[in-house]
Structure 1
Amino acid sequence: MAARYDLIKCINAGPEHKAPIEMVVFDEEGDTIQYSIKGIFVPIFEGLLAEGNVYVVTNFTISLNTIKFKPTRHEFRINFKRDTNVRPVQDSSVSLNGFNFVLFKKIHAESKEDGYLVDVIGRLASKGNLVEFTRDGKPSSYITIELDDLEGGQKLRVMLWQTLAFNLIKYLEEHPCLTYVVILQMGKMKFYSGVMGVSNIIYNSKLFINVEFPAARNFFTRVNKLDHVDGQSIMLLVCDQPVSIEEDFLRLSVYKTIAEIKEHNQKLSNDQS
């Protein structure tokens, strides 16, 4: 099984116990699956794996992917054993990027947030200012942008936090041009003001701007064919202030009165009797 290794996250690492490693890998068909390495096995494999390389992995176990955080939609995940064999190979048939772009209209149609990660690509249509704030004594910052996927005016709101926000601002300052094609890889779907958007997550997401990847070149070709896009400047996006979890809950949740809840529970009891 040949797959490109893509580090997802190492958490709760301590001086005596290694943190488990969670990975997303993909094969030559672009299909992704989650790999897991238990903390006790990490010392065996951490020196063998490097992001961006291709490996043949044998002698592993397969289990249903029932964990809460699911970066892929594959129903199974692969677990390393102590004697799992990892062999690096030179295989040009496996893409170095493995993008699986999701249409904006499909994201907008989602009714709930989940743990699955998505890839999006679009022309930078507008951006807000950097927002800096402190929550629970910790400083944080983000910037909100809108991407246009050139599919009938569909625009997607994307929030970039911390490092990716700074990287975007720095790139725009150092590379002034008319068109920016932005790729966010492994972003998380999230509601913003009642509309589904995408946000980066710490450790996982990657941001690419005007890169030479085939996907970006193909998108540039589409942009250049649209006369009304040429010469358009990036619009200023007016964004809300940070929204608390409580505010999100109050705005997006369905309300029921106590009487309605009692009536609903009574109906369930009658149906079951």
Structure 2
Amino acid sequence: MAVNLTSNAIEMICNGEFQGDDVKPVVQVADIKLVTTGQQSTERYRMLLSDGAHLQQGMLATQLNGLVQAGKVQKGSVIQMSQFVSQVIQSRHCYCSCAGKTIISGQSPMEQSRVTTANTQSYGGAVGTTGRIPFKDMNGGASMKHSNLNSQNNGGGYAGNSESRGPGYVANNVPPAAYIKSETGARGPGSAPLADNYAHVSAAPNYVNRGPIAKNEAPARIIPIAALNPYQGRWTIKARVTSKKDLRRYNNARGEGKVFSFDLLDSDGGEIQVTCFNAVADQFYDQIEAGKVYLISRGTLKPASKNFNRLQNEYEIYLESTSSIQPCMEDDASIPRQQFHFRPISDIENMENGSIVDLIGVVSSISLTVSIMKKDGTETLKRALQLKDMSGRSVEITLWGNACNAEGQQLQNMCDSGIFPVLAVKAGRINDFNGKSVGTLSTSQLFIDPDFLEARKLKEWFELEGKNVLSVSLSRETMGTGRTEVRKTVSQIKDERLGTSEKPDWISIKGTISFLKSDNFCYTACPLMVGDRPCNKKVTNNGDGQWRCDRCDQSVAECDYRYILQFQIQDHTGITWVTAFQESGVEILGLSAKDLYYLKFEEQDDEKFADIIRKALFTPFIFKLKVKEETFSDEQRVKSTVVKAEKTRNLKLILRYVKFARATEALKVLIY
């Protein structure tokens, strides 16, 4: 089969002369080799491309590796490039990188002698053969001596000395990658061009060559995220910010620093994470807004750190002080707001712990928000809900932090009103505690009753049959505090050696406060925000009216006050000491630690202060406790922490009120 190669395609690519949507040069693969390095886990293929007159090295985009592995593209194949990037390396070598939308029409290697032409010259360096032919350097410099390839060469066996072809052509319409075809039958002088067979398929690449990038003053072309690789020197991507993480501080062996990152999505569905450190984080943090579209350029591509990167991309972008972020004034409707990869809930059962997953389902129940003490001594909010879908399974979704009071409260109000909303969870993490469950991360996103096809199908299923179908839960029943709670007595804490196992015990006790230490009932806390919540670390007075926080490395004029109550719980079996922090302290005493501090030490109203403490004593509560053995001064002690305190209602008073209300109604009937 005879196929015309695009005349002087290599030279025109390197000189940046190809422009427009319909430029798709046809070239031949003179050689292809697998490139392996110790720094990359993904295979990459280097190709030697020929237009019949010149040779040029290029890299195949990794998403097209399957074409080589399947044998559709090999040495001698004729390909048509619909998307490519060219650039100068070390001021003289032109490098061509086949981008994400490259469309390849395979040609049998047996036909290679019928499509190449004699005296092939090399752009981008010598190939190592006999004979020399001078030609002009692509940068306009003096003539350079490169190798002449012919059928007798001893440097690589590339085809040559076949019949000469006239001016080539550029195919205008080619099918997408899913419609790859091989031409059959000979082509005579009067036959139609190769592109005519694909005239019924239109190609509309979103990214085109907009001029050479070999010169610094030339505008950088927009390329898809999927085409980014470390071999490119200059690039620009147009993408939407789908998620933005909080600016956080860290401390490691190399010192202190701060970092934030955000995720990008382009119109081709390519995703990549962008990370900024220290001064660069300060430079760009306020510029980035989730949901907006930006033009981003002059960053560094590095292998993605999978410990902090959940996206399916082998690279991530690190911005520098010279990087450019330009917001697009008009929103680009071709770039989706979000990209989901939904999995049925039933798949979670066989997925590994720590896997990241996108889920969509109907919220069948939701618990109240509770406060949880973390290992680092800070508190956070937690709320649990049950999510079910058409797979016949349900799973517990744990909301953490601000999501409890934002989306969590909205879901609570809808469920209380008898509405069962559809919830889409983007980037939840699977854990295997108490069966299988899914927890939110700082990068997770929640979408309530979203307007897309999967949500509408799920809503229709639930209304017709789903509400009456019982689902098998992959999680143990842990609604409430998010953990299984067992009612215990005070004596059982010691008798059953609760808290001495590897994991803490979560129990509830019905009792009263028999004694409360009122001297040191609170501590001075840092009010500065760390991400989406206050620091809350203890601060010290500098002596000049300023309060110093070692964690934030800053001083503030006014501190906050937080409860750290120590008191005894008593029931019919005995007495035990417990500790309660801010939220539990408010539930027990009825006012904030700051208000109580000012009442005692600023207003010095000892009588009112004593009355508040007195009212808390011998009031019946249901205490939810976390019991865990900890080490204090090389001594093992069991510590009980109050997670939640709920006042119990007096049943006698309620019955008395009901009887009084009924008597009042009866009296009104007699009078009127």
Give TM-score, length-normalised by structure 2: 0.32
Q: Does 1:11 align with 2:240?
A: no
Give the match for residue 503 of structure 2: 247
> Per-residue displacement from partner, 1:10-36 (whole Å, max 9, x unpaired)?
21189xx87222111112233322111
1:227 aligned partner: 465
Residue matched to 1:27: 266
CA distance 1:130–1:37, shift in 2 (3 Å): closer
SS of 1:219's equivalent in the other structure is helix
Question: 1:154 deviation in Å?
Answer: 2.0
The amino acid across from 1:10 in the alignment is: L
Instruction: Kindly state the Cα deviation for residue 52 of structure 1 after the two structures are TM-superposed.
Output: 0.8
Unaligned runs of 5+ in 1: 249-273
The answer to whether structure 1 residue 149 and structure 2 residue 389 are counterparts is: yes
Provide the secondary structure at the position in 2 that maps to 1:66: coil
One-letter amino acid of the structure 2 residue matched with residue 26 of structure 1: L
CA–CA separation in structure 2 for the residues paired with 1:20 and 1:208 = 26
Q: Does 1:182 align with 2:429?
A: no
Between the aligned partners of 1:157 and 1:82, the Cα distance in structure 2 is 43
Structure 1 pair 124–52 and aligned structure 2 pair: CA distance change class (3 A): same
Work out which of the residue numbers 337, 340, 343 in structure 2 matches 1:102. 343
User: 1:10-67, CA deviations, whole angstroms, 9 ceiling, x for partnerless residues?
Assistant: 21189xx872221111122333221111222224323432111011222222111135
The equivalent of 2:573 in structure 1 is none
The 3 A distance-change label for structure 1 pair 108 and 157 is: same
Query: What corresponds to 2:297 in structure 1?
Result: 58
Larger RCO, structures 1/2 (Cα 8 Å, 6+ apart): 1
Tell me what 1:209 maps to. Answer: 448
Q: In structure 1, what is the equivalent of residue 401 of structure 2? A: 162
Alignment partner of 1:81 out of 293, 297, 320: 320
- Flag the 1:50–1:214 CA change in 2: closer, same or farther, 3 A: farther
* Cα distance in structure 2, aligned partners of 1:122 and 1:217: 11
Task: Provide Cα deviations, 1:109-147, integer angstroms capped at 9, x if missing partner.
Answer: 113325xx4322101123345444445654444222221
Contact 1:4 1:52 in 2 (8 A): yes
Q: Does the Cα contact within 8 Å between 1:18 and 1:42 map onto a contact in 2?
A: no
Q: State the secondary structure of the residue aligned to 1:37.
A: strand
Is the 8 Å Cα contact of residues 18 and 40 (structure 1) preserved in structure 2? no
Distance 2:299 2:405 in 1: 40
Partner residue of 2:58? none
Find the partner of 2:439 among 170, 192, 199. 199
Of 120, 123, 126, which residue of structure 1 is paired with 2:359?
120
Is contact 2:399–2:408 with CA below 8 Å preserved after alignment? no
**Which amino acid is 1:20 matched to?**
V
Give the whole-Å Cα distance in 2 for the aligned partners of 1:73 and 1:207.
20
Cα 1:158/1:139, change in 2 over 3 Å: same
Q: Give, in angstroms, the shift of residue 96 of structure 1.
A: 1.7
Letter in 1 for 2:280: F
Change (3 A) 1:238 1:2: same
Number of the residue aligned with 2:543: none
1:9/1:23 contact within 8 Å kept:
no
Match of 1:111 in 2: 352
Residues 30, 100 of structure 1: 8 Å contact kept: no
**Residue pair 1:110, 1:196 contacting (<8 A) in 2 also:** no
SS in 1 for 2:503: helix
Q: Is the 8 A contact 1:36 1:80 kept in 2?
A: yes
2:362 is paired with a residue whose SS is strand
In the alignment, is the contact (CA less than 8 A) between 2:357 and 2:430 conserved in 1? yes
Q: Is the 8 A contact 1:108 1:197 kept in 2?
A: no
Deviation at residue 238 of structure 1 after TM alignment? 3.6
Instruction: Output the amino acid matched with 1:174.
Output: N
Distance in 2 (alpha carbons) for counterparts of 1:135 and 1:62: 35
SS at match of 1:50: coil
Which digits, 9 at most, give the CA deviation of each residue in 1:182-237, with x for residues without a partner? 122232222222x3321012x4223232244555334323434x3352799xx9x8
Structure 1 residues 231 and 105: CA distance shift in structure 2, 3 A: closer
Query: Which amino acid in the other structure matches residue 240 of structure 2?
Result: R
Q: What's the counterpart of residue 270 of structure 1?
A: none
Q: How many angstroms does 1:158 deviate by? A: 1.0
Distance in 2, Cα, partners of 1:111 & 1:174 = 33
Q: Which amino acid aligns with 2:333?
A: S
TM-superposed CA distance for 1:162, in Å, is 3.2
Larger radius of gyration between Structure 1 and Structure 2: 2
What secondary structure does 2:307 align onto? coil
Mapped to 2, the partners of 1:40 and 1:139 lie a distance apart of 29
Q: Aligned partners of 1:197, 1:238: CA distance in 2, in Å? A: 11
Change in Cα spacing, 1:30 to 1:146, as seen in structure 2 (3 Å) is farther
Counterpart of 1:190, as a letter, is: N
Aligned pair count? 236
Instruction: Supply the RMSD in Å over aligned alpha carbons.
Output: 3.3
TM-score (norm 1): 0.72
The amino acid of 2:382's aligned partner reads Y
| In structure 1, C-alpha distance between the alignment counterparts of 2:278 and 2:466, rounded to whole Å | 54
| Identity across the alignment (%) | 19
Question: Could you tell me whether the CA contact under 8 Å between 1:128 and 1:238 is conserved in 2?
Answer: no
